[in-house]
Amino acid sequence: MSKTTKVTVAHGDGIGPEIMDATLRILDAAGANLEYDRIEIGEKVYKSGYETGISPESWEKIRDNKYFLKAPITTPQGGGFKSLNVTIRKSLGLFSNVRPCRTYPPYVPSNFPHMDIVIVRENEEDLYAGIEHQQTNEVVQTLKLISRPGSEKIIRYAFEYARAYGRKKVTCMTKDNIMKHADGLFHSVFKEVAKEYPEIEADHWIIDIGSAVVANRPESLDVVVTLNLYGDIISDIAAEVAGSVGLGGSANVGMDHAMFEAIHGSAPDIAGKNIANPSGLLNGAIMMLVQLGKADVAERIQNAWLKTLEDGIHTGEIYRANRSKERVGTREFADAVIARLGECPLKLKAVKYKEGVTIDVKLSEPVQKEKSLCGVDVYIDWADEGRNADVFGKAIESIDNDNLELKVISNRGVLVYPGGMKETFKSDHWRCRFSAKEGKTVNNGDVLNLMSAVNEKGFDFIKMDNLYNFDGERGYSLSQGE
Ligand code: NAD
């Protein structure tokens, strides 16, 4: 028997308690030999006064035990409640969200019988930093932050995963035709890292057409690596296309900790009725067993689960009168899996996990480029004079600075001065780009002097971004039309 391992377990909200009971019964019956350190998280905890949805004692257990099996929770709407899922992933450095999505033809209906993809989603960065500000009456900003080490970690993880599990191709998806710096960084790191894995094919799709490929030609994909938001969206598309959101498991993996869950939510519409499919959480738990070095138990459970599907024992959302044999509830489905422990599927491909698979990610040495200040973008809230860009532009141009001069003004990214078009819509949010005068160098002191002068002229500045070159290469985007 494998050694006893303590893992943290949370039963969550909605269908969480039902699917967790079913999953733990199967793990115990299969001899997983786990000790459960139970914690309460989610709706009740939010409502008892913890805006994060978790108490400090529960945090300690998660940190001590390192492995966490979590049922879905409900985040209450409004009221400043933060998503506990995002908080846990980021606080514990769970940088990689791995979501396998495959089909089980003909037992679970899907248009794509050979689909078998793994989405590796970056889990800590991107718009999920949740840094948002209302800056003017009309404009709200969300910051998208992408780092080189964050990109390298997840991209290496995807290639290491492909190598460890015998996958043939890694596809990167970004929107670097528009976000040339943020998504461009991710894509360029992908190209660098791919060279170190010559045996694995590497390609890239722009995310919009890439999502269409996930929806329409998923059989052409193998491992997909992408940024946080795109990964969030395409993994739900992939799960749905594979047949049901109720089937997919998900691993959130960091250097020291890992959290395993179903990809679906707490499904309050079907809670307490014994009709939810426990397979998503069970598949998450199977990924946990593999990572805990209990590959034999993982294999035993997954093969029994495949045999259950194959025998036509189905929960309501995948039950079809013409292909299923028996429509069962959550508890009965778990009983059916337990009854088949030790059996393998006859038509679906049985799984075989290698023992001792570890995925090690080592980052390359950071390269220090020379950073030089070359200008500043000053954002101003202005809605006077019928928002006439020429009136505004001339007033801003008259601001005096020894080393910086106005270059262009844009509004929501489009050039409006000098030489803008009168048709362009103008919000109350103006970006004034100042660059170093010919032959001058600039420093932060020049920026401070400029900001004072903007203030003295009576303009309401709302933020500024310094403009830098790195090793002489422009580190900022141009305005549309600049
Ligand atoms: P959901 O995934 O809970 O439900 C979407 C639909 O799929 C519903 O019709 C539901 O009945 C069905 N469904 C989901 N899981 C199923 C299962 N196991 N078996 C059968 N049918 C299943 O998504 P939602 O309704 O958008 O969200 C409900 C709540 O879940 C929200 O509060 C949301 O914040 C939360 N949520 C939590 C997590 C998480 O904890 N990881 C993830 C997503 C959503």
pLDDT attached to residue 78: 67
Q: How many angstroms separate the alpha carbon of residue 244 from the centre of ligand 1?
A: 11
pLDDT attached to residue 357: 76
Q: How far apart are CA 111 and CA 128, in angstroms?
A: 32
Is the predicted pLDDT of residue 83 greater than 60, yes or no? yes
Q: How many CA atoms lie within 13 A of 153 on its CB side?
A: 19
Residues ≥6 apart with Cβ < 8 Å to 204:
171, 172, 173, 174, 187, 190
pLDDT band at 1 (very low <50, low <70, confident <90, very high): low
Q: What is the pTM of this model?
A: 0.91
Nearest residue CA, atom 41 of ligand 1? 72
**CATH number of the domain bearing residue 202:** 3.40.50
163 exposure class (CB count in 10 Å sphere: 0-12, 13-18, 19+): middle
Phi-psi region of 130 (alpha: psi -120 to 50; beta: other; left: phi over 0): left
C-alpha distances out from residue 72 to 12, 84, 233, Å: 5, 10, 18
**Co-location of 218 and 124 in the same domain:** yes
Residue 364 lies in a domain: no
Residue 274 lies in a domain: yes
**Co-location of 77 and 153 in the same domain:** no
- pLDDT tens for 179-219 read 999 999 999 999 999 999 999 999 999 999 999 999 999 99
E-strand ranges in 438-477 read 460-470, 473-474
The first and second tokens of residue 402, run together, are 């020894």
**Co-location of 7 and 90 in the same domain:** yes
- pLDDT tens for 407-430 read 999 999 999 999 989 899 999 999
**Co-location of 18 and 50 in the same domain:** yes
Residue 362 lies in a domain: no
Last residue in a domain, options 204, 233, 262: 233
- pLDDT tens for 218-262 read 999 999 999 999 999 999 899 889 887 778 899 999 999 999 999
Across 375-385, b (16+ Cβ under 10 Å) vs e yields bbbbbbbbeee
Residue 481 lies in a domain: no
Greatest mean pLDDT among 12-26, 76-90, 104-118 lies in: 12-26
The first and second tokens of residue 186, run together, are 């991710």
pLDDT attached to residue 171: 98
Is the predicted pLDDT of residue 19 greater than 80, yes or no? yes
Q: How many angstroms separate the alpha carbon of residue 210 from the centre of ligand 1?
A: 25
Is the predicted pLDDT of residue 141 greater than 90, yes or no? yes
pLDDT attached to residue 456: 95
**Co-location of 151 and 185 in the same domain:** yes
Strand 140-142 versus strand 132-134 pairing type = antiparallel
Residues ≥6 apart with Cβ < 8 Å to 163:
197, 199, 200
What percent of the chain is predicted at pLDDT more than 70?
Answer: 99
Strand 371-381 versus strand 429-436 pairing type = antiparallel
SS3 content of the chain, % helix, strand, coil (to 5): 35, 25, 40
Angle between helices 279-291 and 295-310 (to 10 degrees): 160
**CATH number of the domain bearing residue 436:** 3.30.70.1570
**Co-location of 376 and 411 in the same domain:** yes
Q: Which residues line ligand 1 (CB under 6 A)?
A: 15, 72-75, 85, 245-246, 261, 264-270, 276-277, 280, 317
Nearest residue CA, atom 10 of ligand 1? 267
**Co-location of 319 and 261 in the same domain:** yes
Mean pLDDT of the chain: 94
Q: How far apart are CA 106 and CA 360, in angstroms?
A: 36
The closest-lying atom of ligand 1 relative to the alpha carbon of residue 42 is: 40
Greatest mean pLDDT among 38-47, 100-109, 270-279 lies in: 270-279
Nearest residue CA, atom 32 of ligand 1? 74
Last residue in a domain, options 355, 390, 409: 355
Q: How far apart are CA 266 and CA 269, in angstroms?
A: 9
Q: How many angstroms separate the alpha carbon of residue 332 from the centre of ligand 1?
A: 21
Q: How many angstroms separate the alpha carbon of residue 267 from the centre of ligand 1?
A: 4
- pLDDT tens for 458-476 read 999 999 999 999 999 999 9
What percent of the chain is predicted at pLDDT more than 90?
Answer: 82
Last residue in a domain, options 355, 382, 408: 355
Q: How many angstroms separate the alpha carbon of residue 76 from the centre of ligand 1?
A: 14
Q: How many angstroms separate the alpha carbon of residue 252 from the centre of ligand 1?
A: 18
Q: How far apart are CA 264 and CA 268, in angstroms?
A: 11
**Co-location of 223 and 249 in the same domain:** no
The closest-lying atom of ligand 1 relative to the alpha carbon of residue 76 is: 32
Overall domain count for the chain:
3
**Co-location of 247 and 208 in the same domain:** no
The domain in which residue 137 lies consists of 118-233
pLDDT attached to residue 51: 80
Q: How many angstroms separate the alpha carbon of residue 164 from the centre of ligand 1?
A: 31
Q: How many angstroms separate the alpha carbon of residue 34 from the centre of ligand 1?
A: 27
Residue 113 lies in a domain: no
**Contact of 374 with 435, CB cutoff 8 Å:** yes
Mutate-to-test residue for ligand 1 from 23, 259, 264, highest number of ligand atoms within 8 A of CB: 264
Is the predicted pLDDT of residue 481 greater than 80, yes or no? no
Long-range contacts of 82-88 (CB under 8 A, 24+ apart): 82/51, 82/52, 82/53, 82/130, 84/41, 84/42, 84/52, 84/53, 84/54, 86/128, 86/130, 87/52, 87/53, 87/54, 88/54, 88/62, 88/252, 88/259
**Co-location of 297 and 325 in the same domain:** yes
Mutate-to-test residue for ligand 1 from 74, 266, 275, highest number of ligand atoms within 8 A of CB: 266
**CATH number of the domain bearing residue 254:** 3.40.718.10
Residue 73 lies in a domain: yes
**Co-location of 394 and 463 in the same domain:** yes
Is the predicted pLDDT of residue 270 greater than 90, yes or no? yes
Residues pairing with 206 in the sheet: 174
Residue 67 lies in a domain: yes
Is the predicted pLDDT of residue 370 greater than 70, yes or no? yes
Residue 438 lies in a domain: yes
What is the DSSP annotation of 347-386? SSPPP-PPTT------PPPPP-PPEEEEEEEEEEE---GG
**Co-location of 253 and 338 in the same domain:** yes
pLDDT attached to residue 124: 92
